[in-house]
Amino acid sequence: MRIWESQGQRLKLVLNIVVLGLALFSFSRKNTVFRSTSAFENLMIDSVTPLQRGVSYLHKEVTDLFEHYVNNVSASKEKGMLIKKVGQLENELFEMEEMKKENQRLKGYLEFGSDLKVKKILAQIVSWDSSSDYKVLRINKGIKSGIRLQSPVVTSIGLVGYIYRLTDHYADVLTILDPSNRIDGLVSRTRAHGILEGDSDDRLVMKYVTRTKPIILNDLVLTSGLGNIYPKGLKIGRVARIERESYGITQHVEITPEVDFGGLEEIIVLVSSLDEVKKIEWDALDKEDQEKR
């Protein structure tokens, strides 16, 4: 009995193995089934596919355009910032150059007049007087700064004029170019005397110079120290033209100022006490007498 039961179990196991093997074989041999589409589905596919392609193309173009726009905006902002930065650097460089030039001018002013025993006040020019025929400039210092009437005004190069009008904080300078500003001057080389008057925007005339004085072009003309205003030895200008007429005892001499009035920015006001002014004039007269002897 037990023999028959064991044989039946073996038979069942063999049958199960055979069935499983057939199932796997049939599955491996099975062909994939493709479902055919209907005419309506074909129509829809044919109609929608170009639209989908257009939408995809449009999406790509819009995306590229947006990215290009964003990149351009970023580049424009960066360019604007760089341009602004370059402008700031150029302004800083310009300011540094101006400061360098100003320091050089001020250094020259500080070195000027070390032998003059007077008070020196540095001032800036704020305007020219264009309301009249006078050649006048205005500076930013006045009575409060210690400036006095008839104080001579100079630069490190030469004579500018003198103070003829004052307020608490400003002063007007009558320049040597003004016809009413008369200066007693002398030629440095020959010691010839004459009176200088403004004749134009860039020239002075030296009058009353005798014909016997051998003046030549480019001779340096200085202040003589006479007249209670200008100390002796300040540079006025150089001889630019000489006319000797066939008659008379004087000669016509034109002078080009040492100072470039068109480029003036700062000046020096020389302030002396009344006793010092008188002493300067008496010293000048004594020197003149000695030279004549």
Judgement on whether residues 277 and 233 belong to the same structural domain of the protein: yes
Over range 259-266, report the average pLDDT. 87
Q: Between 194 and 115, where is the model more confident?
A: 194
DSSP state of 240: E
Q: Between 70 and 151, where is the model more confident?
A: 151
Residue with tokens 């006095």: 148
Closest C-alpha to 160, from 148, 151, 169, 168: 151
pLDDT at 200: 73
DSSP state of 31: P
Q: Between 102 and 155, where is the model more confident?
A: 155
Local structure of 209: helix, strand or coil: strand
Residue 52 lies in a domain: no
End residue of a domain, out of 111, 142, 163? 111
pLDDT of residue 2 exceeding 60, the answer is no
Judgement on whether residues 136 and 80 belong to the same structural domain of the protein: no
User: What is the Cα–Cα distance from 69 to 65, expressed in whole angstroms?
Assistant: 6
pLDDT digits (tens, 9 = 90+) for 16-42: 676 566 555 554 554 545 556 666 656
User: What is the Cα–Cα distance from 22 to 8, expressed in whole angstroms?
Assistant: 21
Give yes or no for a contact between 183 and 236, defined as CB atoms under 8 angstroms apart: yes
Question: What are residue 51's phi and psi, to 5 degrees?
Answer: -65, -45
Residue 195 lies in a domain: yes
pLDDT of residue 4 exceeding 50, the answer is no
Judgement on whether residues 269 and 126 belong to the same structural domain of the protein: yes
- Please tell me the total number of residues recorded for the chain in this structure: 293
Residue 194 lies in a domain: yes
Cα separation of the two ends of the chain: 176
User: What is the Cα–Cα distance from 55 to 248, expressed in whole angstroms?
Assistant: 106
Judgement on whether residues 218 and 281 belong to the same structural domain of the protein: yes
pLDDT confidence bin for 126, thresholds 50/70/90:
very high
pTM of the predicted structure, to 2 decimals: 0.59
Judgement on whether residues 212 and 133 belong to the same structural domain of the protein: yes
Give yes or no for a contact between 162 and 153, defined as CB atoms under 8 angstroms apart: yes
pLDDT at 113: 57
Over range 218-242, report the average pLDDT. 91
pLDDT digits (tens, 9 = 90+) for 144-167: 999 999 999 999 889 999 999 999
Note down the domain range covering 192.
Answer: 119-292
Overall domain count for the chain: 2
